[in-house]
């Protein structure tokens, strides 16, 4: 029986949320949240959960049901078995929501730096995610790889994103040059079931395809084939990942605000924003969790940063998400967070049990200044540093909260990703904005199409060139 089927194990893997340093009692009345404010938000959470419940389903908020897609999981795992041992490298071509989640999964769940191990040591393909069109990155990456041993996974929901499709054309030519018609067996397309250029090309050329369900937008797609296919190919336990997400789904349906981690943090972030604390820092004290904070930066920014409210009012609203890494950024950012403008809240992410302890040897005679370190471990050090920073911030009247992972594994990662998606969906209801559109991004995309001469964008090109 897999461990995630054991209820006791699941509960032992629950990510705890300590928000005590967000409260007025801890950081002062003008800086922190009061019990009265929380009481008012409880009603709004309940109303928000009703809205999400009504919209949940394949026709609208399909991302909410991604933890339960058994058929897709079987299909993905069957493909992973089929190509096991065939490829040494997997190259993902995608951007935004079609890349950040994959990177987050890889960083969180593979041994850090294992791409530098030999194939015998790692016993899985390496994974590269090219999420930029910088030629000085793309071209050398392709030159380093062997087309005969590389699988290219092209991921784009719209099937037409300029960066991804440019990369696709380059990668396809690179594969064809060496492999001829067999190039098609080295290409996988993950895209919309019906629309877009990539779907058409994949059908014509016979690529293996996986579908991004219609109601799943880019930044909510990590638990769809977008994240699952690359994750399964590099040996991540995708069933455990989804079991963690399903566990979070349960926790996030609770109506009591303080017992609903997504609702509670959405409320705290919203209230902080109204008080003028408009910058929200996510600071994991874990190298493994760094790229989850990067993934979240997109989720929070694109979902909440909006000009218009759902009531049709111009609001130009949205908290600014910032990524920082503990303990590294204590030597870069904390000075600002502690003494700079009081416009931030810090969301720490802690790990209780690291996979390694990292024992620190005793110092030698004559090294008294560093002797206190001997006998401790790096795991202790990084956690003590986080606690000390939280205490110091609180004393300085700077609100902060902590998500505590019992350990980093596929279950806790799936749990956290889903919880953050729910937090974002609920926060969007509090801010009264549409969490699923991105008109600001579309404007930039369309301008790029116009400047590159895409048919249908001629008028826009003239307009841009005349300004
Ligand atoms: O969240 C979103 O919808 C966007 O960030 C997209 O993921 C991003 O623009 C890439 O789009 P696509 O997947 O269509 O290539």
pLDDT of residue 442: 81
- pLDDT tens per residue across span 328-347: 999 999 999 999 999 999 99
CA of 133 to the centre of ligand 1 (A): 15
**Any ligand 1 atom below 6 A from CB of 302:** yes
CA of 161 to the centre of ligand 1 (A): 8
- Residue to mutate, 100, 161, 212, 214, ligand 1, most ligand atoms under 8 Å from C-beta: 161
* Catalytic machinery residues: 302, 331, 445
What parts of the chain have a pLDDT lower than 50?
none
pLDDT of residue 441: 85
Shortest-distance atom of ligand 1 to CA 163: 15
Longest Cα pair distance anywhere in the chain, in angstroms?
77
SS3 annotation, the chain: CCHHHCHHHHHHCCCEEECHHHEHHHHCCCCCECHHHHHHHHHHHHHHHHHHHHHECCCCEHHHHHHHCHHHHHHHHHHHHHCCCCCCEEEEECCHHHCHHHHHHHHHHCCCCHHHCCHHHHCCCEEEEECCCCHHHHHHHHHHCCHHHEEEEEEECCCCCHHHHHHHHHHHHHHHHHHHHHHHHHEEEEECCCCCHHHHHHHHHCCEEEECCCCCCHHHCCCCHHHHHHHHHCCCCHHHHHHHHHHHHHHCCCCCHHHCHHHHHHHHHHHHHHCCCCEEEEEECCHHHHHHHHHHHHHHHHHHCEEECCCCCEEEECCEEEECCCCHHHHCCHHHHHHCCCCEEEEEEEECCCCCCCECCCCCCCCHHHHHHCCCEHHHHHHHHHHHHHHHHHHCCCCEEEEEECCCCHHHHHHHHHHHHHHHHHHHHHHCCCCCCCHHHHHHHHHHHHHCCCCCCHHHHHHHHCC
Structure tokens that stand for 385 in this block:
């540093």
CA of 438 to the centre of ligand 1 (A): 9
Q: Are the CB atoms for 201 and 72 separated by under 8 Å?
A: no
pLDDT of residue 249: 98
pLDDT of residue 444: 82
- Residue to mutate, 94, 98, 226, ligand 1, most ligand atoms under 8 Å from C-beta: 98
**Any ligand 1 atom below 6 A from CB of 199:** no
Shortest-distance atom of ligand 1 to CA 161: 15
- pLDDT tens per residue across span 190-225: 999 999 999 999 999 999 999 999 999 999 999 999
**Cα angle 110, 111, 115; round to 5:** 85
pLDDT of residue 406: 98
Shortest-distance atom of ligand 1 to CA 299: 1
CA of 94 to the centre of ligand 1 (A): 8
Sort residue 96 into left (φ over 0), alpha (ψ -120 to 50) or beta.
left
């Amino acid at each position: 029986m897999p461990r995630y089927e054991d209820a006791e194990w699941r509960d032992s893997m629950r990510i705890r949320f300590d928000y005590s340093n967000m409260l007025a009692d801890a950081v002062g009345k003008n800086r922190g949240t009061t019990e009265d404010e929380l009481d008012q938000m409880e009603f709004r959470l309940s109303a928000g959960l009703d809205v999400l419940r009504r919209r949940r389903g394949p026709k609208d908020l399909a991302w909410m049901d991604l933890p339960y897609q058994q058929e897709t999981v079987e299909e993905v795992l069957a493909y992973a078995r089929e190509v096991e041992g065939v490829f040494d490298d997997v190259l993902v071509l995608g951007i935004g929501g079609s890349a950040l989640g994959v990177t987050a999964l890889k960083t969180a769940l593979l041994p850090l730096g294992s791409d530098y191990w030999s194939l015998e040591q790692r016993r899985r393909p390496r994974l590269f995610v090219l999420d930029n069109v910088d030629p000085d990155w793309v071209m050398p990456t392709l030159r380093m790889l062997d087309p005969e041993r590389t699988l290219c996974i092209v991921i784009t929901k719209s099937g037409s994103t300029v960066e991804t499709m440019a990369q696709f054309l380059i990668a396809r030519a690179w594969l064809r040059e060496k492999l001829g018609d067999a190039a098609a067996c080295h290409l996988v397309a993950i895209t919309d079931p019906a629309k877009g250029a990539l779907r058409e090309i994949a059908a014509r050329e016979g690529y293996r395809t996986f579908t991004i369900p219609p109601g799943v937008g880019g930044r909510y797609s990590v638990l769809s084939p977008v994240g699952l296919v690359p994750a399964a190919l590099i040996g991540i336990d995708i069933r455990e990942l989804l079991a963690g997400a399903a566990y979070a789904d349960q926790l996030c349906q609770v109506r009591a605000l303080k017992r609903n981690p997504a609702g509670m943090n959405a409320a705290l972030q919203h209230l902080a924003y109204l008080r003028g604390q408009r910058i929200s820092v996510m600071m994991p004290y874990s190298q493994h969790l760094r790229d989850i904070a990067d993934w979240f930066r997109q989720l929070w920014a694109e979902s909440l940063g909006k000009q218009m409210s759902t009531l049709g009012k111009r609001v130009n609203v949205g908290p600014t998400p910032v990524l920082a890494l503990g303990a590294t950024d204590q030597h870069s950012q904390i000075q600002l967070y502690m003494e700079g403008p009081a416009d931030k809240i810090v969301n720490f992410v802690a790990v209780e049990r690291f996979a390694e302890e990292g024992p620190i040897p005793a110092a030698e005679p004559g090294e008294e200044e560093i002797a206190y370190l001997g006998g401790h471990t790096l795991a202790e050090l990084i956690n003590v540093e986080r606690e000390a920073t939280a205490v110091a911030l609180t004393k300085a009247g700077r609100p902060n909260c902590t998500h505590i992972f019992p350990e980093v594994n596929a279950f806790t990662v799936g749990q956290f990703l889903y919880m953050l998606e729910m937090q974002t969906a609920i926060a969007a209801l509090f801010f009264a904005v549409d969490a699923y559109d991105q008109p600001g991004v579309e404007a930039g995309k369309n301008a790029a199409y116009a400047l590159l001469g895409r048919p249908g964008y001629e008028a826009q090109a003239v307009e841009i060139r005349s300004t």
